[in-house]
Structure 1
């Protein structure tokens, strides 16, 4: 069953990963590329949230996707004939 949140079933491919550093920052990766560093209080909250949902891979993926914000919208490829303003 595909959830309403992940209609295209992309999170099951586990595109996001993370690393918690010794300093307590969280480095988030998308398909192996570093895309965001979370520090301080936000990092503490994220680590706590990850610990809460770590049993569900999809929930961890969703959490990482949400914290990256509007990182991927699906419209990255623009038509070659259109001009970017």
Structure 2
């Protein structure tokens, strides 16, 4: 799986976390979810963690889906 790029996050004073991708907001986490997210950042690759939490990551089936009869030109 290719490594995601372009994710950043900002932890705000109220405890919420805003995740951005290529300069656009991809998600906002508050409360316990924000705390779990920060905890996961320490244990792994931050780009992969942010991609997983926002749902913006490749699942590995893009090539096979392209060849499906429904998706052919």
**Among residues 25, 28, 33, which one is paired with 1:37 in the alignment?**
28
Return 5+ residue gaps in structure 1 as ranges.
54-58, 75-85
1:49 Cα deviation (Å)? 1.5
CA distance in 1, matches of 2:11, 2:38: 8
Question: What secondary structure, in the 3-state scheme, does the structure 2 residue paired with 1:44 have?
Answer: helix
| 1:22 match | 13
| 1:82 match | none
- Is 1:66–2:57 an aligned residue pair? no
Structure with the higher helix share, 1 or 2: 2
Aligned residues: 59
1:72 Cα deviation (Å)? 5.6
- Taking structure 2 as the reference length, what is the TM-score of the superposition? 0.68
Larger RCO, structures 1/2 (Cα 8 Å, 6+ apart)? 2
Return 5+ residue gaps in structure 2 as ranges.
63-73
Question: Runs in 1 of length 4+ with deviation above 3 angstroms?
Answer: 71-74
- Taking structure 1 as the reference length, what is the TM-score of the superposition? 0.60
CA RMSD for the aligned pairs?
1.9
